[in-house]
Structure 1
Amino acid sequence: MRLHRNENPYGCSLLVQESLSIHDGFAQRPGPIPQALLQAVGRHIGRPASDLYLTNTPFELLERVLRVCAEPGDSVIAYTPHTPQFTQAARNAGLSVLAAPRVGGKVTATQALRLRSATANTIFLGTPNDPTGDVASPLEVLTLLRSGATVIVDEMYAEFTEKGLGILVGEFPSFISLRSFAPWAGLWGIPVSYAVAAHETVARIDDVWPQAGLTAASRIAAGASLDDAALLLNRVKHMRLERARLYRRLRKLNFVQPVPSHGPFMLCEVTRGEPERIVELMGEEGVLIHWCEEDGLSTHLRISVGTPQHTDMLMTVMCRIAVRL
């Protein structure tokens, strides 16, 4: 049972599978992204197509945005903890990373603004953040933007919370939101990612990396997912309900302390035993969970939200291993 990679337990839409099965153009080189697809994504988030830049993987998107927003040798300020993929993307772009710790598990503007300089004017944060699950206050993000900094927000899991921050794109040209179809549409295997930004920023990225690299499979999967968005977002609703149930169940255990989350996962502090040992024992029982050592949280585990059946099985196994800690 895979509860370690933030994968959608319901999978992708059947429309995706059907559309891929009848497509006969996979031997053709991809051309420019169809305007109809850009407009469909825009309708999904309430932004014009000119504010969108589509590409394949979230990592590819992040690296391109970083390269456009900062010069090699500059620094990027990043709220911690964050995923190791961000550090790698910054390194690939020739940037060093300055850490701005969350205070009490929350983003506070002062932590990043005290690190600003002429060569450190780009700020990165996740909301909902992986692995902590917290969301950034719009007021704190506004404070960052009003300082004149460029703010890149990873909103990969935006569909799992109440409201995203994409509305700020229309007010601040220095705001960039990074999104993905992977979590909500079940498309980790056929990645479709996009940036939401002022059209001037989109044009700058497009000048260097034209929007022609999105694979045929990704284009088909994105279009089919948007056609079936009502079903997929209803699944997200079920996952949000199951997230609350998972939290309540985990609180009853005597060796982990769950942290309330706005993402499709739950961060848990280990209060008895060793995290590595817990992961090992769970793996022996056929349940995969994530140890957050590489995320800078060596005493924590991250458990993905699954179906109700997944939660029941998870709890059965966790109760069984408790006596071995």
Structure 2
Amino acid sequence: MKAGFVPRNVVGGRVRGIREYAPEPLEELAVRLGMPVEQLIKLDANENPYGPTERTLEALRGYAYFHRYPDALSRRLRQAIGDFTGADPSCILVGNGSDELIDLILKLFRQGKDGVGISQLLNCPPTFGMYQFYGVTNDMEVVEFPRDGDFQVNVGAVEALCRDDPRPRILFLASPNNPDGQLLSDAHLERLLELPLIVVLDEAYVDFSGGSKVGLVAERENLIVLRTFSKWAGLAGLRVGYGVFPEPLMDALWRLKSPYNVNCAAQVAALATLEDVETALARVRTIISERERLLENLRKIVYLKVYDSEANYLLCRMLGVPVSQVREAMGRRGIILRYFDGSALGDCVRITVGTPAQNDLVLSLLRELQGEEIT
């Protein structure tokens, strides 16, 4: 290497401001807590506690072609997704998780040297952190419109921006939103779609609520809907998501996407899930039922403010009890919840809906803590 040349000094400046996302592996967490991995109760990442269906596992065990590259176009899976959602398979793109599709969408629209494209991403925190992350990595200016105290989108502020400066922009919205679980209203969506915006509606949790807007995509050329198999289907570890896009965008998307982006195992598992969809949806109904039971019981604990949710998690705000105390009590029993250190949600905890036994244990510990703190 030429003397004086230091590769780290030519790393792009935008990278230095990005915060690394590196959650603690279960194995390391188990060592730190002093207990076996199998005793941990992981309720921090909105994963499905029941995992894949047995038919899905059988399909993976029986697949004989892992030494071959996957179908680069995910043809069979796209057809099955079309049957499941009612969307035209020719307007469906499957990705290595929805994260890949978020990145791909921004690559598609970001402004080039010719000045054509979009330079601003609109974000509505608190929400899924990857919108901001991929905005930065794609050299977009991220403009934030914080949600109100009830986690509603400030549609009026977005309208005002677009009225004062009508250049095209891209807006990402999760519905149900993460971390609170609330849906974007139809009225708000309609107002946003009337603006010079590409609206990307992330429906990662919509299977726990209903009301998907996939059917609107064919009518609205500025609407994209993202969905995933991570949550409802229990396939988070295989990374398989999909987007439903307006037909005029598909040619450019096919040219831009990475080849072989969805691996064989992900395609096999997702297809098998859709072939056994009633089993998977029965588990979804169980999670919804448990969510409502958990919500009812959490609201009986006086130091918790629990928000309504249409997802597979509940956001709780601590009233008079330090989050650190909850964290310590849960950690002693190997229960992992989602905490929000150093943010506006620092006094909140998000609880993924687990199995009935897991939920009962969480409730029991929170009730014990109530006894210690409240007189």
**TM-score between the two structures when normalised by the length of structure 2:** 0.82
Deviation at 1:295, TM superposition (A): 6.4
* Equivalent AA in structure 1 for residue 75 of structure 2: Q
| Local SS of the residue matching 1:303 | strand
* Equivalent AA in structure 2 for residue 106 of structure 1: Q
| Structure 2 spans left out of the alignment, 5+ residues | 1-40, 113-117
* Equivalent position of 1:33 in the other structure: 73
Distance of 1:211 and 1:173 partners within structure 2:
26
151-160 or 72-81: which moved more? 72-81
Deviation at 1:252, TM superposition (A): 1.1
Q: Is the 8 A contact 2:176 2:206 kept in 1?
A: yes
* Equivalent position of 1:88 in the other structure: 133
* Equivalent position of 1:172 in the other structure: 220
Q: CA RMSD in A?
A: 1.8
* Equivalent AA in structure 1 for residue 42 of structure 2: R
* Alpha carbons of structure 1 residues 277 and 86: separation in structure 2 relative to 1, 3 Å: farther
* Equivalent AA in structure 1 for residue 237 of structure 2: G
Distance of 2:109 and 2:282 partners within structure 1:
36
| Local SS of the residue matching 1:230 | helix
Deviation at 1:70, TM superposition (A): 3.0
* Alpha carbons of structure 1 residues 168 and 70: separation in structure 2 relative to 1, 3 Å: farther
* Equivalent AA in structure 2 for residue 97 of structure 1: V
| Local SS of the residue matching 2:127 | coil
1:109 aligned onto 2:155: yes
1:252 aligned onto 2:300: yes
Distance of 2:286 and 2:75 partners within structure 1:
32
Q: Is the 8 A contact 2:323 2:348 kept in 1?
A: yes
Q: How many residue pairs end up in the alignment?
A: 325
* Equivalent AA in structure 2 for residue 83 of structure 1: F
Q: Is the 8 A contact 2:166 2:196 kept in 1?
A: no
- 1:253-292: CA deviations, max 9, x gaps? 1221110100100011110222233223211121111113
Q: Which has the larger radius of gyration?
A: 2
1:59 aligned onto 2:59: no
Distance of 2:344 and 2:109 partners within structure 1:
26
| Local SS of the residue matching 2:161 | coil
| Local SS of the residue matching 2:87 | coil
- 1:173-203: CA deviations, max 9, x gaps? 1100111001000001111101111122232
* Equivalent AA in structure 2 for residue 109 of structure 1: V
239-248 or 211-220: which moved more? 211-220
Deviation at 1:294, TM superposition (A): 6.4
Distance of 1:136 and 1:294 partners within structure 2:
26
Deviation at 1:296, TM superposition (A): 4.1
* Equivalent position of 1:187 in the other structure: 235
**Which residue of 43, 47, 72 corresponds with 2:87?**
47
Q: Is the 8 A contact 1:76 1:121 kept in 2?
A: yes
| Local SS of the residue matching 2:124 | strand
1:19 aligned onto 2:59: yes
Distance of 1:269 and 1:9 partners within structure 2:
23
**Which residue of 357, 360, 364 corresponds with 1:309?**
357
82-91 or 301-310: which moved more? 82-91
Deviation at 1:84, TM superposition (A): 2.1
Distance of 2:158 and 2:201 partners within structure 1:
14
| Local SS of the residue matching 1:29 | coil
* Equivalent position of 1:4 in the other structure: 44
* Alpha carbons of structure 1 residues 293 and 58: separation in structure 2 relative to 1, 3 Å: farther
* Equivalent AA in structure 2 for residue 213 of structure 1: N
Distance of 1:219 and 1:156 partners within structure 2:
18
Q: Is the 8 A contact 2:175 2:183 kept in 1?
A: yes
| Local SS of the residue matching 1:86 | helix
* Alpha carbons of structure 1 residues 293 and 204: separation in structure 2 relative to 1, 3 Å: farther
Deviation at 1:162, TM superposition (A): 2.4
Distance of 1:38 and 1:295 partners within structure 2:
39
Distance of 1:324 and 1:62 partners within structure 2:
45
Q: Is the 8 A contact 1:54 1:211 kept in 2?
A: no
Distance of 2:318 and 2:168 partners within structure 1:
35
Distance of 1:22 and 1:61 partners within structure 2:
29
Distance of 1:82 and 1:140 partners within structure 2:
17
Distance of 1:152 and 1:295 partners within structure 2:
25
Distance of 1:294 and 1:261 partners within structure 2:
23
Distance of 2:217 and 2:285 partners within structure 1:
26
**TM-score between the two structures when normalised by the length of structure 1:** 0.94
Q: What percentage of aligned pairs have identical amino acids?
A: 27
Deviation at 1:119, TM superposition (A): 5.2
* Equivalent AA in structure 1 for residue 101 of structure 2: L
Distance of 1:292 and 1:199 partners within structure 2:
39
